[in-house]
Structure 1
Amino acid sequence: MTTTVLALKRISGNNIVSPIGFKATGIHCGIKHKKNDLALLVSEVPANVAGVFTTNAIQAAPLMVTKEAMQQTGKMQAIIVNSGNANACTGQQGLKDARLMQQKAAEKLGIAPALVGVASTGIIGEMMRMEPIVNGIQKLEPSSELEGSILFSQAILTTDTVTKNTAYSTVIDGKKITIAGTAKGSGMIDPNMATMLGFITTDAKIESVHLQAALKTVTDLTFNSITVDGDTSTNDMVLVMANGMAGNNSLTPAHPDWEQFTEALHAVSQDLAKMIAKDGEGATKLIEVEVSGAITDIEARKIAKTVVGSPLVKTAIFGCDANWGRIIAAVGYSGATLDPNAIKIKIGSTTVVENGEPVPFSEAQLLIYLKQPEVKISVDLHQGIGKGVAWGCDLTYDYVQINATYRS
């Protein structure tokens, strides 16, 4: 995918309601002790929708309900989200509860239940307390102002330390179109289809079938290229709503501005993916692994994700240890085609391996680099033209502490 730098504009005050016709809000309804835990995102008109979901065989009730809704209409006008309880592994009662959330949100907005998506995140295996949710839905008053977007992005968080928002605009058919996104995700991130929760809005006009194809392609390059801890959640999903209110001609792969749209979607998705990786539970560093010279792009991404997901690499980066042996070992067990005698590895701008052999370097100089909040590892296999990038974070004492006491 090429980069159309001049066609994209990063929007300051980026938020999920930047595109025309979207409103959002979030409140504390009582699932959590204090923090916001119930959120609502609404389009003024039914929007075409696309979604990608977890590949975990155990899937939470909200995913099932959302998939059902998408299959019925191919459209979505609202998404109701709760944090603090995943509503996963909760059987038939869990499905009833997810459908009740859908129904009550629909009644609040005066729309059909099939136009409402449902998402939940939090503890797995606990039954939902529906009274605070039902009462809370009645109190939700979505707004097109920045405050509504902030409240929404806060209400979907679990162990996240920061909210994750981004937005871009571009011009299609002479019309300004905007794509914005917000996400949550900090642990249990190795999605293989989506991320913990991601919501993207756009006022572009595009049919669901083409939106789905674009999202799938972009997801492989962004959300599927992050890992925090190697776990895949039961609740992962990314949903995109396109309400068409910008007034452009309907986008298809044959449209002359198709690439501008996909670049904007890619930019939003990559921003959110990197924010999730950077905010990994207990993380102190964002790690980027760039692989070149692979047989294919797919193999390059596979290697990159293997390296960034290695617990030994992650702990070495946390400890500011230039232990490149852990990097080359991860490359070796990635399963990709390679020649051990052709590998080159760089940490930052410092070459540490050339032709599969060690290269003298200054440990003191590299220590200074490894203390930075973002660390880049480059691997060149010299086997082909395949390229790929993956993002992750270091593995710290705090990660163990957070997850050892998650239910406490």
Structure 2
Amino acid sequence: MIRNIIEPALAHMTWKVGNVTTPLGFKAFGTASGILKGRPDMALIWSVKPAVVSGLFTTNTAKAWPVLLTQKTVYHGLCQAVIINAGNANAATGPQGEKDAALMQERTARGLNIPPSFVAVASTGVIGVPLPMDKIDQGIHQLLEQWEQHRDCDGKAASEAILTTDQVPKVLAAEVTLPEGTVHMGLMAKGSGMIHPNMATMLAFVTTDAVIDKELQDHLLRQAVDRSFHRISVDGDPSTNDMVLMMANGFSRVAIETPESIKLFQSALTHLLRQGARMIADDGEGATHLITCHVKGAPSEEDAAQKARVVVRSNLVKAAIYGQDPNWGRILAAIGTTPGAFDPDQVAIRMGRLTLFDHGLPTSFDENEAKDIMGQHEVVIEVDLHNGSYEAEAWGCDLTERYVEINAHYRT
């Protein structure tokens, strides 16, 4: 289960019990189509009016067909619905996979009476297996039936329907106070394995009822993702299907235009996605610990982020955290693999309240106290490079036998 790892809201934010349906004018539905046995496996997010859409996608060259299709929707700039399936990635499926992704888009659009270009498509699951289109069609029909009958939206079922090896859904919502008025944000995400920066085997959907210009929203989303989803790693394997979509339907009539409102909205969006990143890292396949690495004293933020990321993705560090072994040498060695120069004789490494390494020399610390610190669910590693004024964080999880079990039998 996801533990209580959500950080306090910023001063101009309030966490709400909710999800992507918390912002005004958004609905979501989930259903079981039969792709996955005994659980929801398809979801629909719907905006009652066309929303400005922005997106970021996997850097993997082997992009899945839904990613390639949805990139076109994002390019055109407006989206009113997202159709999502779990259990099948529709990646490496040849020309038929391209046709199937387009059919998902077209059939959803026809049922909603909107242009196909207003529908984004997302898939997650096994690679290289053709989509079971009979089940996909059934799922779309069931979702449209819920929409047509004006049933109460079910963000919970939608969030459950996009999961694969995840243990729990990742949802969050916030109210944001701006000088011009109040807006809302909602988040629904999935991710547990094949998680690595730029991006990861993850889907994330962000909704807001704010009024935002497309060019500005593109910029705000990229900045927020760079400080959140691009700083997590479970196993170092980026996926074929990763995407982050953000939809702003303007229902609140509160525009993000002035420098102050842009700054406040940006900080709230980044903080929201930061929690999503932490939730994904915490739910890493087989994980028992959330690992946070805070690097400070760096010559640039990117240098700090790069060094933090390499620590949380190191299998040796991850295994040491699982075994509650305060092996600072593995942390130092991981940092040494990054391109940015650093002086080991200036570095300090701390874990919780204990200093393990300081200015080129190991310190004398109580092993039992260190073991107690590493027994906590979230293990915080702090690295001070003493080489500048910039800092950054990254998140990962420990490496356990359960990770191997899950991935040894993912298809079988």
Displacement after TM superposition at 1:171 (Å): 2.1
Q: Measured at CA, do residues 344 and 35 of structure 1 come closer, stay the same or move farther in structure 2, by a change above 3 Å?
A: same
Displacement after TM superposition at 1:290 (Å): 0.2
- 1:319 matched to which residue of 2? 323
- Report if the CA contact (8 A) 2:199-2:238 is conserved: no
> Match of 1:269, SS?
helix
2:65 aligned residue (61, 67, 71): 61
Report the residue type matching 2:127 in the other structure. Answer: I
Displacement after TM superposition at 1:195 (Å): 5.5
- 1:372 matched to which residue of 2? 376
1:357 aligned residue (351, 356, 361): 361
- 2:176 matched to which residue of 1? 170
Displacement after TM superposition at 1:175 (Å): 2.1
- 2:252 matched to which residue of 1? 246
Using the alignment, how far apart are the partners of 1:110 and 1:356 within structure 2?
66
Q: Measured at CA, do residues 193 and 404 of structure 1 come closer, stay the same or move farther in structure 2, by a change above 3 Å?
A: closer
Report the residue type matching 2:242 in the other structure. Answer: D
Q: Measured at CA, do residues 78 and 224 of structure 1 come closer, stay the same or move farther in structure 2, by a change above 3 Å?
A: same
- Report if the CA contact (8 A) 1:19-1:203 is conserved: yes
- 2:90 matched to which residue of 1? 87
Displacement after TM superposition at 1:356 (Å): 1.6
Q: Does 1:328 align with 2:332?
A: yes
Q: Does 1:9 align with 2:14?
A: yes
RMSD: 1.6
- 1:209 matched to which residue of 2? 215
> Match of 2:399, SS?
coil
Q: Does 1:388 align with 2:386?
A: no
- Report if the CA contact (8 A) 2:307-2:338 is conserved: yes
Displacement after TM superposition at 1:135 (Å): 1.8
Report the residue type matching 2:108 in the other structure. Answer: A
- 1:154 matched to which residue of 2? 160
- Provide the TM-score with structure 2 as the length reference: 0.95
Report the residue type matching 1:259 in the other structure. Answer: K
CA deviations 1:354-403 (Å, max 9, x no partner) are 10210000000111111111100000010111211000000000000000
Unpaired runs of 5+ residues, structure 1, are none
> Match of 1:5, SS?
coil
Using the alignment, how far apart are the partners of 1:69 and 1:165 within structure 2?
24
Q: Does 1:259 align with 2:249?
A: no
Matches within 5 A, 1:221-236: 221-236=227-242
- Report if the CA contact (8 A) 1:193-1:220 is conserved: no
> Match of 2:122, SS?
strand
Using the alignment, how far apart are the partners of 2:9 and 2:285 within structure 1?
33
Displacement after TM superposition at 1:144 (Å): 9.1
- Report if the CA contact (8 A) 2:27-2:153 is conserved: no
- Report if the CA contact (8 A) 1:15-1:146 is conserved: no
- 1:199 matched to which residue of 2? 205
Percent identical across equivalent pairs?
A: 45
CA deviations 1:200-228 (Å, max 9, x no partner) are 00000001111010011111110000000
- Report if the CA contact (8 A) 1:9-1:168 is conserved: yes
Report the residue type matching 2:186 in the other structure. Answer: A
- Report if the CA contact (8 A) 1:200-1:239 is conserved: yes
Q: Measured at CA, do residues 181 and 144 of structure 1 come closer, stay the same or move farther in structure 2, by a change above 3 Å?
A: farther
Matches within 5 A, 1:120-135: 120-135=123-138
Using the alignment, how far apart are the partners of 2:208 and 2:177 within structure 1?
13
Q: Does 1:36 align with 2:40?
A: yes
CA deviations 1:6-60 (Å, max 9, x no partner) are 211111x221100000000111101112211110000000000000000001100
- Report if the CA contact (8 A) 1:169-1:264 is conserved: no
Displacement after TM superposition at 1:70 (Å): 2.2
Between Structure 1 and Structure 2, how many residues are aligned? 402
- 1:118 matched to which residue of 2? 121
Q: Measured at CA, do residues 187 and 295 of structure 1 come closer, stay the same or move farther in structure 2, by a change above 3 Å?
A: same
Using the alignment, how far apart are the partners of 1:193 and 1:50 within structure 2?
15
Using the alignment, how far apart are the partners of 1:209 and 1:114 within structure 2?
19
Using the alignment, how far apart are the partners of 2:200 and 2:239 within structure 1?
10
- Report if the CA contact (8 A) 1:17-1:144 is conserved: no
- Provide the TM-score with structure 1 as the length reference: 0.96
Report the residue type matching 1:383 in the other structure. Answer: N
Displacement after TM superposition at 1:145 (Å): 8.6
Using the alignment, how far apart are the partners of 1:193 and 1:220 within structure 2?
10
Using the alignment, how far apart are the partners of 1:17 and 1:163 within structure 2?
15
Using the alignment, how far apart are the partners of 1:212 and 1:67 within structure 2?
13
Using the alignment, how far apart are the partners of 2:325 and 2:400 within structure 1?
14
